Amino acid sequence: MTVLTEDTGNTETRTSAAEPQQARRRRKPLGTRAYKVFRVAALVAVVLFLIAPLFWMLLASFKTNVDIYDTGKSFLFTPTGENYANVLQRNNYFVFIFNSFWVAFVSTVLSLVLGVPAAYAMSRFTMHRSALVVLMARVIPGVSLLVPWYYVFSNLKMVGGFEVLILSHMFVSLPLIVYIMMSYFDSLPLELEESAQVDGLTPIGAFRRITLPLAVSGIATAGILSFIFSWNNFMFALVLSGSKTKTLPVAIFDFVSYASIDWGGLMAAATVVTIPIMIIALFTQKYIVSGLTAGATKG
Amino acid sequence: MKRRSIVKYAAVAAALSLGLTACGGGGSDAKAGGTVRVTLANHVWTEGIKAAIPEFEKASGLKVELTQLGEDQLSDQYNVKLNAGSDEIDVMMYRPLQEGKAFAKNGYLADLTSKVSQDANWDWKDYQEGPVKATTVDGKVVGVPIITEREVLYYRKDLLQAVGVQVPKTMEELEAAAKKIAASNPDTAGFVARTGKSAAVTQFSSFLYSFGGDFTDASGKSAVNSDAAKKAYAFYGGLIKNYGPKNVSTDMSWPEAMAIFTQGKAAFYTEADSLYKNATDPAKSKVADTVGFAELPAGPAGSKPYNIPSWGLAVNQASSNQDNAWKFIQWATSKERTLEAQKAGVPGPRASVWADPAGTSTYPKDLAAAIAASAKAGVGHDRPEVITVGKAREIVGGPIVASITGGDASAAADTANSAFQTFLDGEKK
Amino acid sequence: MSVLTPPRSAHSRRAGRTPGARPGFSAWANRHRKWLFAAPAMIFVGVLIVFPLAWTVYLSLTDSQGSVRAASEFVGVQNYLTVLSDVERFWPAVGRTLSFTGVALACEVVLGMGIALLLWRPFRGEKWVRVAILLPLVATPVAVGMMWRLIFDPNIGFINQLLGMVGIPPQPWLSGQDTALGTTIFMDVWQWTPMVVLILLAGLTSLSEEPDEAARMDGANAFQRFFFITLPLMMPTVIVAILLRGIDALKTFDILYATKGKGGGSFHEVETLNVYAYGLSFDYNQYGLSSAVLILFFMIIIGTMWLLTMRKKAVSK
């Protein structure tokens, strides 16, 4: 039961290669022609529903503002790269891209360092209440944290750099990582560790040399998801970032100024924020799916 | 082998990132005299300043660290950072009428009274009276106005001509013209303006004053249900309800209202003059050639638009770098820079720049004339002058929306009046 | 598995046996590895939660406003009384929070189940459909909010343009008093149905085939098999999906802020508890009231989670 989440990932890769054997293991397809037609139509509708808005955003990012305001030019227009030049050059988006990347990367790495051993201990010693403490971070409303955090950190002279931002993002990442890794460690058989200990390894040694390497795909899953969540985080970055640390989600608002909304620039910025994370998601699909569904199939 | 190296890599990566973060943090400790940290809102004014900053850095030897944010995000950040007593900000761009009083009362803004009077060349006396009043709290100067606005009438020359009406000089004429145009053009609204409860308050304020009312009376009591106020509410809402766009939204701030006007779907539009470029720039507006400007039509009490500083610069009280901060402000608000900004389309607060023909050279002639007239008769606030402006706006904005949606504006004004009085009593404590 | 029920460890066992341990630090570390491993993460979260939470509780009992550094007086439970008797902002916000979460989750589960069933059996092009499902899920919520703002714009938006083609008059969507909340729910459904699909699909894939086969032998049709066999077996997974989504849905902030700004619009039409608390803090600077709202909000979240966890336990049995 416990390894099922991993199985999902595997099944998926195999079926996409369309191995007949694998297909047979799954259910027999329903025979009726009507259902087949309905299924194709429904799937097309689903894909359109999910993709069309993103496509529209992409389209608008290549339009001038006059064209955006002109409903006659929804699809037929002369594309312009001006919005992207505006976003990337004049608005220094490379700096924000770097900031976003850096905050997401460091907070993920640090959260992994703290979270993976914790998840291991919590899984192996069934520390339910302790796990609750960490998972509580996911439940608490973020608004209640902002003012106190900033107050403390500014008195500790820790503001202005990346520290506060990274700490706040770790606060989002850590529970996620603990949550995913706990169900992952639960699914790893204990026997390997035990036999390693019989062979003379200390328990920590067994964790380091046996369990951890076995958990690499779980760690990748947790790390990727934590990166994505950190990249997308808005509320903490909104109030805690400073001049040098502004991240992309906050920078999007640069195009909503007092004297005008620059829709073209806004859509280009939204695209620039979204594209990197989508590319990462495409290449790590398997991990993301197994992370999001972690623990979902257990009783 | 492989397994061990994975652990090793993870450890190295962790150590590396820790170390690098520490370095990143180290750089932020730039309190040294050589740097001034400036936080500005997204605005045309900011674009001009940003481009000119190297000049300042060269002349002063100071380094400028600029943070730029949207106006709401800016105020969110102030509310966290200044609240915590952070010295991370030296110079701050703020909205004197929106948050000035609250910030001053919370002790966020440094007293600039002695600084503004020191430099005769920079010339504080050159500043218009209305804006100066708005950046002075309890007798202390806490900010320097940078951008001013007045409400003017935007109109479509072609539509007026087509039905043969003159540019309205009074509110009655405005209503009659809107009615006539709406009747002869089924797709075009006679009149459009902001409709959002909170957003509309500022643009409604000029109607209120022109009808002879104000948000509070001379003794500081709520006055939003005075006869004048009730008439103003009914008039503003009625214009939009009767001659406004069909299915009008009651959540329009200026971008939505402006879009309707610049799409050619409305004949008249009352809005802040500082937004005029949205209507005259062919890249943003379909009606760039046919837009005209006029002074706000006169009501029973004459034409009394607001004339306010929408933005000012202030120094953070907690900053340990106040002298350099002042140096930046002095430069950014100098006559030369104000002229430059004004030429770029940002109406400034300096009388001398308005008197200078170069100061209005880039403005449409009718707009320059409307601004000059408005500046004379202008009222120094466009919203209730209280501490928690956000809440007050919502209270006094209620009847506007009621009136637009065809509700009982008079009853709504009575309700708003008692709520506003309770609110004012609460603030006095 | 939920936040309130950490994964049941499959192999829990007693600590203390440390074969092969060396003396000194290593032995000590091995003996105490349970807390050595768990403590840093717990301390980190604990420190970052306990102080703010304690402070929030404290502020909620004072009349703090303007600046948190300004002098404030202890007013006991006055703020809670004020908030709980506030039928203009607080209770409507509670209602909106619950209806936003409830409606969005209901749509997501129903749609999610439908899509998961469509995807259940392999087909050609499955890979591309899966990509399409993943994209909304990882897209930055603020960017998504901006995207919808343009698409739903009453004057220039694509949706009204589409409606115009089939002769339906333009709708105000986000800017309408009655339509705004529904529109934001739609956005949430667009973005998060994929997550529900993935969770339910994982559940479906793990189902045993026998009950279904048996029912088929007995002549049950597809609908009967779904409602009497598959759905009951899927209930625990469905509740997990609701739990995971529910926490985030209750706390939704990004898309509401991006589309309607502070205060949730002229009539506070999308003002949920989170948005209300944010506005009280950062627009009105009424920290006492805001803290009381936050504490109540926190209790509502915990309460909802607890109810769902109980429900799940009942279903799992």
Contact C68 B388 (CB under 8 A): no
Amino acid of residue C164: G
C177 touches chain B (CB under 8 A): yes
Question: Domains plus CATH for chain B?
Answer: 20-148+308-377 (3.40.190.10), 150-306+382-428 (3.40.190.10)
Chain A CB contacts of B30 below 8 Å: 160
pLDDT score recorded for residue B11: 47
Calculate what percentage of chain A has a pLDDT beyond 90: 32
pLDDT score recorded for residue A75: 81
pLDDT score recorded for residue B329: 96
Matching residue, tokens 């205060």:
C263
Chain B CB contacts of C285 below 8 Å: 79, 83, 102, 106, 388
State how far residue A263 is from chain C, nearest Cα, in angstroms: 8
Report the SS3 class of residue B190. Answer: strand
pLDDT score recorded for residue A120: 92
Chain A CB contacts of C201 below 8 Å: 8, 293
Give dist(CA A98, CA B311) in Å, integer.
31
Q: Give the global pTM.
A: 0.84
For range B34-63, the mean pLDDT: 91
| Confidence at C194, pLDDT banded by 50, 70, 90 | very high
Chain A CB contacts of C139 below 8 Å: 54, 232, 274, 277-278
End-to-end CA distance of chain C: 14
**Tens digits of per-residue pLDDT, C203-231?**
898 888 888 888 888 888 888 888 888 99
Give dist(CA A179, CA B272) in Å, integer.
53
Contact A118 C41 (CB under 8 A): yes
Contact C237 A202 (CB under 8 A): no
- ipTM comes to 0.84
Q: Which residue of B has its CA nearest to C150?
A: B256
State the best of A258, A260, A262 to mutate against chain B, taking most chain B CBs within 10 Å: A258
Residue C61 has pLDDT above 90, yes or no: yes
For residue B148, the cross-strand partners are: B309
Positions in chain A whose pLDDT score sits under 70: 1-31, 257-260, 295-299
Give dist(CA B237, CA B398) in Å, integer.
11
Chain B CB contacts of C70 below 8 Å: 106-107
* β-strands B307-315, B144-156 pairing: antiparallel
Output the six-digit token pair for B286.
Answer: 């379909």
pLDDT score recorded for residue B24: 40
How far is CA A156 from each of CA A271, B87, B145, rounded to the nearest angstrom? 37, 12, 34
Subunits in contact with chain A (3 or more CB pairs closer than 8 Å): B, C
Contact A50 C133 (CB under 8 A): yes
Contact B88 A159 (CB under 8 A): yes
C21 touches chain A (CB under 8 A): yes
**Tens digits of per-residue pLDDT, B65-117?**
988 888 888 888 898 888 888 888 999 999 999 899 999 988 999 999 999 99
Q: What are phi and psi of C51, to 5 degrees?
A: -60, -50
3-class DSSP string for chain A: CCCHHHHHHHHHHHHHCCCHHHHHHCCCCCCCHHHHHHHHHHHHHHHHHHHHHHHHHHHHCCCCHHHHHCHHHCCCCCCCCHHHHHHHHHCCHHHHHHHHHHHHHHHHHHHHHHHHHHHHHHHHCCCHHHHHHHHHHHHCCCHHHHHHHHHHHHHCCCCCCCHHHHHHHHHHHHHHHHHHHHHHHHHCCCHHHHHHHHCCCCHHHHHHHHHHHHCHHHHHHHHHHHHHHHHHCCHHHHHHCCCCCCCHHHHHHHHEECCEECHHHHHHHHHHHHHHHHHHHHHCHHHHHHHHCCCCCCC
State how far residue C23 is from chain B, nearest Cα, in angstroms: 23
A54: nearest Cα among B266, C132, C218, B336: C132
Interface of B with A in 242-301 (CB under 8 A): 255, 259, 262-263, 274-275, 277-278, 282-284, 286
Contact A235 C121 (CB under 8 A): no
**Tens digits of per-residue pLDDT, C118-159?**
988 888 888 888 889 999 999 999 999 999 999 998 877 889
Output the six-digit token pair for B27.
Answer: 């750089």
Residue C100 has pLDDT above 80, yes or no: yes
Contact B388 C266 (CB under 8 A): no
For residue B266, the cross-strand partners are: B189
pLDDT score recorded for residue B403: 95
Q: C181 near C96, Cβ under 8 Å?
A: yes
State how far residue A24 is from chain B, nearest Cα, in angstroms: 36
- Least CB-CB distance to C49: which of A15, A136, A207? A136
For residue A256, the cross-strand partners are: A261
Interface of C with A in 168-227 (CB under 8 A): 190, 194-195, 198-199, 201-203, 205-206, 209, 212, 222
What's chain B's average pLDDT?
Answer: 88
| Confidence at B273, pLDDT banded by 50, 70, 90 | very high
Contact C29 A53 (CB under 8 A): no
Give dist(CA C148, CA A75) in Å, integer.
18
Subunits in contact with chain B (3 or more CB pairs closer than 8 Å): A, C
- Least CB-CB distance to A125: which of C15, C42, C240? C15
Interface of C with A in 68-127 (CB under 8 A): 68, 114-115, 118-124, 126-127
Output the six-digit token pair for B182.
Answer: 């709406």
State how far residue C265 is from chain B, nearest Cα, in angstroms: 7
Contact B256 C154 (CB under 8 A): yes
Size of interface A-B (CB pairs under 8 A): 143
| Confidence at C22, pLDDT banded by 50, 70, 90 | low
Tell me which DSSP letter residue B65 carries. Answer: E
Size of interface B-C (CB pairs under 8 A): 82
> Topology of domain C80-316, per CATH?
MetI-like fold (1.10.3720)
For range B172-182, the mean pLDDT: 94
For range B246-273, the mean pLDDT: 87
Chain C CB contacts of B76 below 8 Å: 282
Contact A161 B24 (CB under 8 A): yes
What's chain A's average pLDDT?
Answer: 82
Q: Which residue of A has its CA nearest to C148?
A: A53
Q: What are phi and psi of B267, to 5 degrees?
A: -90, -40
C9: nearest Cα among A185, A292, A181, A176: A185
| Confidence at B33, pLDDT banded by 50, 70, 90 | low
Matching residue, tokens 């890769």:
A13
Subunits in contact with chain C (3 or more CB pairs closer than 8 Å): A, B
Specify the higher pLDDT residue, B248 or C89.
C89
- Least CB-CB distance to C138: which of A197, A204, A277? A277
Q: Which residue of C has its CA nearest to B105?
A: C66
CB atoms within 10 A of CB C172: 21
Output the six-digit token pair for B266.
Answer: 């409305």
Q: Which residue of C has its CA nearest to A48?
A: C132
- Least CB-CB distance to A15: which of C126, C136, C290? C126
Least confident of A56-65, A180-189, B44-53, C3-12: C3-12
* β-strands A260-261, A256-257 pairing: antiparallel
